[in-house]
């Protein structure tokens, strides 16, 4: 349960950071969809920074600003690292819960 909460917290922090870089304000449900797509694409390690996520980050979130795109990649990399750790812990907890050997 704790790794799932930590994974969602990682998503929320990354989405807030992406929104701040994009200049979005207001409630999270009013943010543009590319911010959420960028946050989710960095959260799932098997997607990585896919071509779709990269294109959305470069065109929709940062509007081709090189400094902003570099910050987005750094945030996405940190978010991906934490996602791998928390997904591993979540899988390990499920394995222990069902005693799979």
Distance CA 49, CA 46 (A): 9
In a structure prediction context, what are the per-residue pLDDT tens digits for the chain, which is 101 residues long?
Answer: 788 898 889 888 888 888 887 777 778 777 777 777 777 877 776 665 566 566 666 666 676 667 777 777 788 888 888 888 888 998 888 888 887 66
Q: Tell me what pLDDT residue 96 has.
A: 83
Distance CA 83, CA 20 (A): 21
* CA-to-CA dists, residue 40 to 43, 84, 85, 86, angstroms: 5, 13, 16, 14
Distance CA 78, CA 74 (A): 6
Q: What's the pTM? A: 0.73
Distance CA 3, CA 6 (A): 5
Distance, CA of 89 to chain centre: 17
Our count of domains for the chain comes to 1
Q: Tell me what pLDDT residue 52 has.
A: 57
Nearest alpha carbon to residue 38 among 70, 63, 11? 11
* CA-to-CA dists, residue 75 to 5, 43, 44, angstroms: 19, 11, 14
| Range of the structural domain that residue 59 is part of | 2-23+31-98
Q: Under a CB-based contact definition with an 8 Å cutoff, are residues 72 and 21 in contact?
A: yes
């Amino acid at each position: 349960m704790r790794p799932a909460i930590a994974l969602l917290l990682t998503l929320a922090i990354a989405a807030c950071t992406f929104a701040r870089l994009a200049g979005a304000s207001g409630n999270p449900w009013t943010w543009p969809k590319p911010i959420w797509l960028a946050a989710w694409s960095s959260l799932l390690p098997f997607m990585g920074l896919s071509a779709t996520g990269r294109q959305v980050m470069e065109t929709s979130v940062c509007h081709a600003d090189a400094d902003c795109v570099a910050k987005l990649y750094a945030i996405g990399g940190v978010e991906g690292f934490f996602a791998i750790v928390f997904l591993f812990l979540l899988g390990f907890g499920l394995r222990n819960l069902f005693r799979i050997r």
